[in-house]
Amino acid sequence: MYDAVADAVAIADSGRHTKKALLIISDGNDTNSSITVGALQRLILESEVLVYALGVDGTSAPTRRGPTIRLPIPLPIPLPFPIPNRGQPRPPIIDWGTQARTTSERVNAAALRDITDDTGGRTEIVRGFGDLDEATSRIVDEVSGQYYLWHVSPVKKNGHWHAIGAEVTNPQLAVRARRGYVAS
């Protein structure tokens, strides 16, 4: 997972728009990346990319999936080719079943939060793949409603992390912002 995120951050950061965001959909479990989480965090913090994550909990109940289309003719097609109903093809059979993710791994929310929280993004955990539409809509609404503030720092480019903060006076409003930046 970390290698894929590192590649995606580099692509997003090279984009032409000022606001750049990346959405990770994963269980948060990294199995075989060559980049460490610390190096990935540094790479993300040196970029201008907001990172969001949707952690999909694989141990939840079955979720609805789209239709499965089964052809009435077995594959491979037997020879001679069967001709049902005197030349009229039979319609495919559509099965609207459910599908459970069969894994014992739970979502690793801490690993996803390690990647997202300092960027101004966030991690949200969903129960299954059927909940992705609503969750992605919430993130799209959030990103499209954000303001982009710019600050020119008096700090020289030293490659160090510098903490920043943003506050609002209205207690009904919440601020989500980068927690700092790397002066590079």
Q: Which residues pair with 98 in a beta bridge?
A: 64
Residues 56/24, Cβ–Cβ less than 8 Å = no
Tally of domains in the chain: 1
Residue stretches of the chain with pLDDT short of 70: 58-105
- How far apart CA 7 and CA 35 sit, in angstroms, is 11
Give the pTM: 0.68
Give pLDDT, residue 165.
Answer: 82
> Which range of residues forms the domain containing residue 64?
2-182
8 Å CB contact between 66 and 133: no
Give the per-residue pLDDT at 7.
Answer: 95
Question: Token digits for 63?
Answer: 């979720």
